[in-house]
C-alpha cells in the first residue's frame, strides 16, 4: 500500500511540473535530496545539477527525495523519472544544504536498503557522491556516508566526476582517480584533509531552475541567480567576500533574457541580491511584465524609495530585511552595515508604500552579546513599531567553519532561551517574535564544528527516534560539560 501511495504522489507531481527535461540515456544516476520534495524542488543548486546532467550526452538524472511523512516510516524512496528504488542505480548523487540534513541522508539510504556507512558498502552497492552548499563550510560529517564529496561550486565539476564514475572499471580505481581530481574530497584517500573549494567559470552563470511546480515551498516560482557570492565581510557568513573571489554579478540583460515569458512568479536568488547594481531596474521590469518577484536577500542599507516602490509593484506585502544583531555593538562584532538610520528609513518607506508590516531577521546569542544588548533591541523595535507593525524572525548564532567566528562558542541553550524570553517579554504586544529552536541550533553547531565521528553519531540519534534527546545522548562524547577557552559547544536543557 505504501508503494502505491508513493507512486500516486509522484505521478501527480510530475503532471503538475513545467519545464522538466525528460531524457532517455544508457547511463542513469539517481540525483537525490535528503529532504522531502517540497524542500528539494526549492533548491536552485539541486536543480542546476539536474540540468547539467540532462545536458550531458548519454547520461541522465532521475530525481529522488526523502519520502513525505504521510507516506509512513516504511516508505521506500523511488526516483521520479523511472519509479525505481535507489539501490538499482550505480551512483546516488546527493545535494546537502545544511547540517541538519545529515539525518535525512541516513533515513534516505536506510529506507532504500543501503547501508549508510561507506565502509560497510561493497562494490555491488551504489557509489554515494555528495555535494551542495554545505561543502563551502564543513562537510566532514558527510565523510561517514559519502564515498566522495564535490567541494564548492559543482556546476560543471559534478558532471566531470560522474564521467569518471561511469568510465572507470572498478570502485577502487574510481576512488583513486577522484582523489587526484581537483576539488574532490575522497575520505578513504584523504582522511580529514579536504581540498579547496571549486569555482565555476563566470561565463556559466547564472544558475537557473528548469522546473517549476506548485508543490514546493516556492510554489510555481522560476528561480534564477542575479549574482554569486558576496562583496561583504560579515564575520559569521560562509559566503563572505573571501569565498570564491567575492561577488560575481550577472548582467541585467542576461537575467531578463533567461526568464520564460510565461513565468509569473520569479525568485531572484543569491547571497546579496540587493547589492546588484541594476536590481531596481530588474525588479521594475519584471513587475511591469506582470510578474510577482521575490528576492532571497534584502540589505537595509540598499533600500531606497525607488527600490521599495518597485518591490511593492512586484507584489511585496511585507518588507523583509536584516537587522542582524540585537544592538549596534553586536552588529559591529558581526561587521554588518545595517545601522539604526537604515532600519528607520526602511520602516518609513514600508509605511509610505502601503506595506502592512516589516519583518526583521536577526541572530541572538552572538559572541559578546549581553542582556543590555537585548534591552537595546527591545527599545529600538518598540520605537520602530510606532511606524509600522514589526515581526522578528530570530535564529540562534551558530559558528561555522571558514568564517572569522568559526572558533566562537555556541552561547548555550539556556542562555539563548533566556534572552529570547527577555526579548518576548519586552516586546509583548509590540512585535511578533518568532525563533528557530535553540536546541536544534545546538545540534547544528555540533555538526558545523564536527568531523566524521559526529556524522556517525547521527546514525545513533536517528535510530533512537531522532528527537533532540537522542542527539544529546549521541553527541555526549563530543560536548564538554563546562565551557573551555576556544570551542565550547555546550547543551543544557
Residue 396 burial by Cβ neighbours in a 10 Å radius (0-12, 13-18, 19+): buried
What is the reported pLDDT for 481? 56
- Alpha carbon 421 to chain centroid, angstroms: 27
- For the record, the C-alpha cell of 28 comes out as 542513469
DSSP string computed for 140-156: GGGGGT-SEEE-B--TT
Long-range pairs of 159-168 with CB within 8 A, sequence gap ≥ 24: 159/52, 159/53, 159/56, 159/59, 161/129, 162/29, 162/53, 162/56, 162/59, 162/91, 162/93, 162/129, 163/56, 163/59, 165/90, 165/91, 165/127, 165/129, 166/27, 166/59, 166/90
Cell reading at 252: 541585467
pLDDT of residue 239: 86
Q: pTM of the prediction?
A: 0.93
**Furthest-apart CA atoms within the chain: distance in Å:** 69
Q: What is the pLDDT of residues 363-397, one digit of tens each?
A: 999 999 999 999 999 999 999 999 999 999 999 99
- Region of 368 please: left (phi>0), alpha (psi -120 to 50) or beta: left
pLDDT tens digits, residue range 272-331?
999 999 999 999 999 999 999 999 989 999 999 999 999 999 999 999 999 999 999 999
Give burial (CB, 10 Å; 0-12/13-18/19+) of 192.
exposed
State residue 488's pLDDT score. Answer: 39
Per-residue pLDDT of the chain (493 residues; tens, 9 = 90+): 478 889 999 999 999 999 999 999 999 999 999 999 999 999 999 999 999 999 999 999 999 999 987 666 678 999 999 999 999 999 999 999 999 999 999 999 999 999 999 999 999 999 999 999 999 999 999 999 999 999 999 999 999 999 999 999 999 999 999 999 999 999 999 999 999 999 999 999 999 999 999 999 889 999 999 999 998 889 999 888 777 778 999 999 999 999 999 999 999 999 999 999 999 999 999 999 999 999 998 999 999 999 999 999 999 999 999 999 999 999 999 998 788 999 999 999 999 999 999 999 999 999 999 999 999 999 999 999 999 999 999 999 999 999 999 999 999 999 999 999 999 999 999 999 999 999 999 999 999 999 999 999 999 999 999 999 999 999 998 876 544 443 334 454 4
Nearest Cα to 323, choosing from 306, 287, 299, 350?
Answer: 299
C-alpha to C-alpha distance for 451 and 441, rounded to whole angstroms: 17
Amino acid at each position: 500500500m505504501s508503494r502505491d501511495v508513493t507512486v500516486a504522489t509522484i505521478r501527480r507531481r510530475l503532471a503538475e511540473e513545467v519545464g522538466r527535461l525528460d531524457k532517455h540515456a544508457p547511463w542513469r544516476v539517481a540525483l537525490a535530496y535528503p529532504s522531502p520534495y517540497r524542500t528539494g524542488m526549492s533548491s536552485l543548486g539541486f536543480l542546476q545539477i539536474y540540468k547539467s546532467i540532462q545536458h550531458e550526452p548519454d547520461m541522465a538524472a532521475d530525481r529522488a527525495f526523502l519520502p513525505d511523512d504521510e507516506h509512513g516510516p516504511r516508505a521506500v524512496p523511488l526516483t521520479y523519472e523511472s519509479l525505481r528504488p535507489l539501490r538499482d542505480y550505480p551512483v546516488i548523487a546527493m545535494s546537502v544544504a545544511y547540517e541538519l540534513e545529515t539525518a535525512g541522508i541516513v533515513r534516505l539510504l536506510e529506507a532504500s536498503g543501503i547501508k549508510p556507512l561507506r565502509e560497510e558498502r561493497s562494490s555491488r552497492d551504489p557509489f554515494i557522491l555528495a555535494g551542495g552548499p554545505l561543502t563551502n563550510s564543513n562537510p566532514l560529517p558527510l565523510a561517514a556516508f559519502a564515498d566522495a564529496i564535490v567541494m564548492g561550486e559543482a556546476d560543471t565539476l559534478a558532471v566531470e566526476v560522474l564521467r569518471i564514475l561511469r568510465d572507470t572499471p572498478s570502485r577502487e580505481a574510481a576512488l583513486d582517480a577522484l582523489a587526484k581530481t581537483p576539488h574532490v574530497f575522497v575520505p578513504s584517500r584523504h582522511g580529514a584533509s579536504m581540498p579547496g573549494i571549486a569555482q565555476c567559470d563566470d561565463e556559466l552563470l547564472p544558475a537557473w531552475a528548469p522546473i517549476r511546480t506548485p508543490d514546493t515551498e516556492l510554489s510555481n516560482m522560476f528561480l534564477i541567480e542575479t549574482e554569486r557570492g558576496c562583496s561583504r565581510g560579515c564575520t559569521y557568513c560562509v559566503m563572505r567576500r573571501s569565498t570564491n573571489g567575492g561577488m560575481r554579478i550577472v548582467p541585467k540583460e542576461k537575467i531578463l533574457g533567461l526568464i520564460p515569458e510565461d513565468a509569473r512568479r520569479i525568485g531572484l536568488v543569491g547571497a546579496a541580491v540587493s547589492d546588484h547594481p541594476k536590481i531596481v531596474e530588474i525588479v521594475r521590469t519584471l513587475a511591469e511584465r506582470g510578474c510577482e518577484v521575490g528576492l532571497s536577500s534584502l540589505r537595509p542599507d540598499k533600500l531606497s524609495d525607488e527600490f521599495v516602490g518597485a518591490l511593492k509593484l512586484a507584489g511585496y506585502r511585507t518588507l523583509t530585511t536584516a537587522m542582524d544583531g540585537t544592538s549596534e555593538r553586536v552588529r559591529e562584532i558581526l561587521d554588518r552595515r545595517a545601522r539604526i538610520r537604515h532600519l528607520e528609513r526602511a520602516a518609513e518607506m514600508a509605511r509610505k508604500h502601503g506595506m502592512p508590516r516589516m519583518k526583521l531577521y536577526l541572530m541572538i546569542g552572538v559572541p559578546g552579546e549581553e542582556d543590555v544588548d537585548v534591552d537595546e533591541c527591545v527599545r529600538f523595535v518598540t520605537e520602530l513599531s510606532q511606524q509600522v507593525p514589526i515581526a522578528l524572525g530570530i535564529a540562534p548564532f551558530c559558528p561555522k567553519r571558514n568564517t572569522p567566528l568559526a572558533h566562537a562558542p555556541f552561547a548555550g541553550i539556556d542562555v539563548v532561551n533566556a534572552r529570547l524570553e527577555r526579548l518576548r517579554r519586552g516586546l509583548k504586544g509590540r512585535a511578533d517574535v518568532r525563533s528557530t529552536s535553540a536546541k536544534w541550533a545546538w545540534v547544528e553547531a555540533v555538526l558545523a564544528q564536527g568531523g566524521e565521528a559526529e556524522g556517525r553519531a547521527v546514525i545513533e540519534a536517528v535510530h533512537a527516534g531522532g528527537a533532540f534527546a537522542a542527539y544529546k545522548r549521541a553527541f555526549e562524547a563530543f560536548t564538554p560539560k563546562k565551557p573551555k577557552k576556544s570551542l565550547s559547544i555546550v547543551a543544557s536543557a
